[in-house]
Amino acid sequence: MYAVFQVGGRQYHATTGDKICVERLPQAVGETIEIGDVLLITDGDNTQVGQPLLSGAKVVAQVVEQSKGKKIIVFKYRPGAKHQRRKTGHRQNYTWLKVEDIVLGK
């Protein structure tokens, strides 16, 4: 059985036991969260598709880790202009979730 659900404006596909990386959530490590924005649930033969969401369906997940992603370099440059170079970096914050259960709706 797997589900397609939405967290932070992005859609994720997961089965029970999967670890997924989502944009940072305010929960602490070890907390359990319930994600109610479920778009699709399927278990082989039976498929339930929401319009746009499934009522009563939820994905139960546990926060495993809060981490930062790989650093990216942002370099802005204007050719032909003096002193028009700027170099900065960015590291995105992520939350790792372990999907514990997928609960069907009505």
User: pLDDT for 24-36, tens place per residue?
Assistant: 999 999 999 999 9
pLDDT one-digit tens code per residue, 31-77:
999 999 999 999 888 899 999 999 999 999 999 999 999 999 999 99
pTM, to two decimals: 0.83
Residue 6 has pLDDT above 80, yes or no: yes
Q: What is the dihedral of CA 31, 98, 70, 76, to 10 degrees?
A: -80
DSSP letter assigned to residue 8:
T
**CB distance 20 to 11 below 8 Å:** no
Whether the per-residue pLDDT at 106 is higher than 90: the answer is: no
Q: Which residues pair with 38 in a beta bridge?
A: 5
The tokens describing 37, both together, are 């924005």
Number of domains in the chain: 1
Q: Residue 78 burial by CB count (10 A; 0-12/13-18/19+): exposed, middle or buried? A: exposed
Q: What does pLDDT average to over the chain?
A: 94
Domain that holds residue 47: 2-103
